Structure 1
Amino acid sequence: MGFLHNNIGYYLREVKTLVRRDISSNLLSVISLAFIFFILALVFSLGISSDFIISQIEDQAEISIYYTEDANMDDLIENLLSIPGVTDVIPVDEETAKEEMTQILGSESRIVDLFDHNPFSPYLDVTIQLESVEEISERASSLGGVELVRDNKEVLQKLQEISGIIRIFGFFILLSVSIATLVITSHLIRQGVYLNRDSIGTLKLLGAPDGFIYRPFLVNGMLTSLLAGLLSLIMTFFSTRYLYSQLSGSLPFIVLPGFSEHMSTLVIFTLSLSVILGIFGGLMGIKSTKPKNN
C-alpha cells in the first residue's frame, strides 16, 4: 500500500475521472459485489455462531440423572462424585425443572400450564468433563437407584457434523466469491483501460512508467471492492440484528456470541477480504490489458 502515499491526490482525481466516464459499470460492479460479500458474510457468521454454540456446550457439559423414589440421595450423590470426570452434582426438584422448561419454551410455555399437575420429575444435574461422557454415563447407569441417564452427546455430535458441513460449504462460498470478485473487478479495470486508451498512449509517449499510469486503475478496483464490502456490512448488520432478536425470543436456550464482538469479527473479515480481492482483481485486469497496449 506504499504507493498510496505518493501522488495520492493525483490518483484519487484519476479514479474520480474513471468512475465518471463509466459510472454505470462501476455502480453495477459495486452492487453485484455487495450482494456477493453479503452472502459470504452470512455464511461466515453462521460458522462463527455454530462454533461458539459448540464450545459453550463443551464448556458446560452436563448429564441429567433421573432416580427412583426409593433412592438414597446422599449415597447416590457421593457415588457420582467419586466417578472420574464428574465435577459437580446439583439436585433439581420438580418446581425448578418446571421453571427451566418454561424458560426454554419461551412463548410456548403456556403448554405447561395445561397440565393439572407438575409433569416434571426431579433429577440430578451432573457437570462433567465432556471427553469422559461415555464412561461416566455407563458407570452412572450401573449405580443403585438410577433410573435413567440422559446426556447431550448425540446433540453435540449433530452440532459438530453441522459445523463441519458449514465449514465445507463456507469454503466453497469463499472460493466462489473470490473468483466472482476477481472476474468482476478485472473486467471493470479492463474496460476502464480501454475507455482511457488514448490518455494511456499519450502518457507512454511522454515516458511515464507503467506503475504511474496503471495505479489509478488499481486504486479504482480496490475502492470498488471496499465500497461493496461496506455496503454488504450494512445489510449484514440489520440481518444479523434481526436474527439475534428472533432467536433470543423464540429459542432463549441457545447461547449466541455477543452481538458487538460478532459484528467486529465480520467487519474485519469482510473489509480485509474485499481490499485483498480488489487489489488482486485490479492487478489481473491491468496485466490482461498490457499486451494490447504495448
Structure 2
Amino acid sequence: MGTRPSNTGYYLKEVKTLVKRDISSNLLSVLSLAFIFFILALVFSLGLGSNYMITQIEDQAEISIYYEDSASVPLLIQELEAIEGVMDVTPVDDETAREQMIQVLGSDSRIVELFDHNPFSAYLDVGIRIESVDKISEEAALLSGVDLVRDNKEVLQKLQEISGLIRIIGIFILLSVSIATLVITSHLIRQGVYLNRDSIGTLKLLGAPDGFVYRPFLVNGMLTSLLAGLISLIMTYFSTRYLYSQLSGSLPFIVLPDFADHMITLVIFTLSLSVILGIFGGLMGIKSTKPKNS
C-alpha cells in the first residue's frame, strides 16, 4: 500500500467520499477561496497593466518641441539631432496635430469642431532615450527659435508612483491571500480527518503508512484550492475583458497589453499559486491532526 501509480484511483475515490461526507464545508471553502483569488488576480492584473504602460512609454519616449513662426525648421531639426540621446526628429504640422488630438479625445473630439480655426500648432516630435530626458530638454530649450519644450516625464513619474503603490498593495494582498488559503485549506483538512477518524484508525491498525492514509486529504486540499483558482479566473476573465472595452473606448490613448497574453499570464500565476497553497495548506492540516509524539 505504498505510493504506486495504481493507487491513484483509490485516492480520487477517497477524495470523492470526503467531499460527499462534508459537502457544505467543501463548497464554502471553494467559494471563499475563489473570491480571495479573484481579488488577488485583479490586483496582479493592474500591476501587469501599469508595468506594461510604463515600459511602452519608456521605449517610445519623446518630447515635443514647439517653435516660433520665424524659426528655421530644417536648422532646428539638425541642431536637435546633434544632441546626445536624441534618436530621431519628426516634424508634425498643425493639421496632423489636430488629427492626433481627435484620436486621443475619441468620442469627445466633437469639441475640436467648435473652433472656427485650427487651435493646434505645428511642432517637432523628438524621440529620445528616457534616461536623457532632463539633459535633452535643457539643451533643446536653449536653441534659437524654440518656444516651448514639453516632455512626459511627470506623466511617467506618476505612473511609476502608481505602479509602485499597486506593487506594495499586491504584496500585502498576496500575503493575506496566502495566509487565508492556508488557514481555510488546513481547517478543511482537519475537519475531514476528524470526520474520518474511524477509517483512519482502521487503516493504521492494518499497517497502512501515513503517506497512504493522509494522501487523499492532501489531494482534496489541492483540488479545492485549484477549483477555487479556476472559478476566480472565470470571474477575472469577464472583469478584465469589460475593463479593456471600457478603457479602449473612453481612453484610447492608454496603451494596454495584448488581452490574450495578459490572460495567459494571469492563468499561469493564479493556477500555480492555488496549487502550491493548496498543497501547503493540506500539509499544515494533516500535521496539526497528528499527535505531538508521532
Q: Smaller-chain TM-score range?
A: over 0.9
Match of 1:61 in 2: 61
Unaligned runs of 5+ in 1: none
Match of 1:102 in 2: 102
Aligned length: 293
Specify the code of the residue in structure 2 equivalent to 1:250: S
1:91 equivalent to 2:91? Answer yes
Superposed CA offset, 1:186-240 (max 9, x none): 0000000000001111111111111100000000000000000000000000001
Please state whether the residue corresponding to 1:31 is helix, strand or coil: helix
Match of 1:75 in 2: 75
Name the CA shift for 1:279/1:121 in 2 (closer, same or farther; >3 Å): same
1:237 equivalent to 2:237? Answer yes
Superposed CA offset, 1:103-160 (max 9, x none): 0001111111111111111110000111100000000000000000000011101111
Distance across 2 between alignment mates of 1:92 and 1:182: 58
How do residues 13-24 of structure 1 correspond to structure 2 at under 5 angstroms? Answer: 13-24=13-24
Match of 1:259 in 2: 259
Distance across 1 between alignment mates of 2:130 and 2:106: 28
1:8 equivalent to 2:11? Answer no
Unaligned runs of 5+ in 2: none
TM-score of the pair, normalised by structure 1: 0.98
Distance apart, 1:291 and its partner CA: 1.2
Distance across 1 between alignment mates of 2:19 and 2:167: 37
Distance across 2 between alignment mates of 1:292 and 1:217: 19
Match of 1:42 in 2: 42
Name the CA shift for 1:73/1:174 in 2 (closer, same or farther; >3 Å): same
Distance across 1 between alignment mates of 2:202 and 2:85: 77
Specify the code of the residue in structure 1 equivalent to 2:36: I
Match of 1:211 in 2: 211
Match of 2:179 in 1: 179
Match of 2:125 in 1: 125
Name the CA shift for 1:122/1:147 in 2 (closer, same or farther; >3 Å): same
Distance across 1 between alignment mates of 2:4 and 2:35: 28
Question: Could you tell me whether the CA contact under 8 Å between 2:3 and 2:211 is conserved in 1?
Answer: no
Distance apart, 1:5 and its partner CA: 3.3
Match of 2:144 in 1: 144
Distance across 1 between alignment mates of 2:230 and 2:290: 31
Superposed CA offset, 1:158-203 (max 9, x none): 1111111111110000000000000000000000000000111111
Please state whether the residue corresponding to 1:43 is helix, strand or coil: helix
Distance across 1 between alignment mates of 2:126 and 2:233: 42
Question: Could you tell me whether the CA contact under 8 Å between 2:3 and 2:212 is conserved in 1?
Answer: no
Specify the code of the residue in structure 1 equivalent to 2:154: E
Distance across 1 between alignment mates of 2:219 and 2:61: 51
Specify the code of the residue in structure 1 equivalent to 2:219: V
Superposed CA offset, 1:261-286 (max 9, x none): 00000000000000000000000000
Distance apart, 1:4 and its partner CA: 8.0
Specify the code of the residue in structure 2 equivalent to 1:288: S
